[in-house]
Amino acid sequence: MHIFYTPDINSNTLILSEEESKHCIKVLRLDAGSLLHLVDGIGGFYDAIIEDPHPKRTKLKIVKKIENFAKRNHYLHIAIAPTKNIERIEWFLEKATEIGIDEITPIICDRSERKELKTERLNKVITSAVKQSIKAFHPKLNEAIRFSDFISKNTNTQKFIAHCMDEGKVTIKDQLIPKGNYLIIIGPEGDFTFQELEAAVNNNFIPISLGESRLRTETAALEACFEINFLNR
């Protein structure tokens, strides 16, 4: 199955971008009449036929559309402190997209080792995972924001913060309201400071545990992603 990400579908005909056209014609060697599939990132899944196999501007005709393809029954937003090794955050984005996630926000904490991110590159990782895992919804990647600014935003969600301190934690399954909107914050390798945790609790975040093991940042975030999806089956 050949999947192409095409976020600007507004008619029954479409010209693929130069990058996607090259992949379609030069790499996959598809020709006129070939069937391929499109996802628009907002729930649309399409069947399309190649009309003009041009290596820079391939023209397609859409023959079928499915709306809200494989839409999940909940919304998951994970805010995560960027890892020093950028490949580890890329790994998280890839795997979380495959499992199921709706929104990601990089947060800069007091102990964060990385303060800046190039979201263009990270969005390409997400897009690749969307196509690989046949997802019609493209997760939203926000620009990095300071922890203190992020937690002060009002949201109509269940809000959790995962930390490594010894006391005052519950499990997600004991607090989860099924089929809801969830926001989970994952801190840096050195964990949150006590002041950050206190500020989050004062902003109605519930402290949670992700098990007995001490997990790396990206592993903790993926574990949270898996738990939310598992509990909403």
> Is residue 167 over pLDDT 80?
no
Give the pair of three-digit tokens for residue 198: 């206190």
Nearby residues of 124 by Cβ (< 8 Å), 6 or more positions away:
none
pLDDT of residue 14: 93
For the chain, the residue count is: 233
pLDDT of residue 166: 75
Residue 39 burial (C-beta neighbours within 10 Å; 0-12, 13-18, 19+):
buried
pLDDT of residue 165: 85
Quick one: which H or E segment has residue 20? helix 18-22
Q: What is the per-residue DSSP string for 37-66?
A: EEE-BBS-EEEEEEEE--SSS-EEEEEEEE
Say if residues 205 and 160 touch (Cβ distance below 8 Å). yes
Q: Residue 160 to residues 11, 57, 82, 173, 182: CA-CA distances in angstroms?
A: 41, 46, 18, 12, 8
pLDDT of residue 141: 98
Say if residues 184 and 78 touch (Cβ distance below 8 Å). yes
Question: 31: pLDDT confidence band, cut at 50, 70 and 90?
Answer: very high
> Is residue 71 over pLDDT 90?
yes
Looking up tokens 């795997």, which residue turns up?
A: 95
> Is residue 177 over pLDDT 80?
yes
| CA dist., res. 28 & res. 38, Å (int) | 15
pLDDT of residue 156: 76
Nearby residues of 68 by Cβ (< 8 Å), 6 or more positions away:
43, 136
H-type alpha helices, 111-232: 119-132, 147-151, 172-175, 194-202, 217-231
> Is residue 114 over pLDDT 80?
yes
**Region 171-184 average pLDDT:** 94
Question: 213: pLDDT confidence band, cut at 50, 70 and 90?
Answer: confident
Least confident among 104-108, 120-124, 151-155: 151-155
Q: What percent of the chain has pLDDT over 70?
A: 100
pTM (two decimals)? 0.93
Question: 211: pLDDT confidence band, cut at 50, 70 and 90?
Answer: confident
pLDDT in tens, 131-155: 999 999 999 999 999 999 999 987 7
Least confident among 60-74, 159-173, 196-210: 159-173
What single DSSP character describes residue 26?
A: I
Nearby residues of 64 by Cβ (< 8 Å), 6 or more positions away:
46, 47
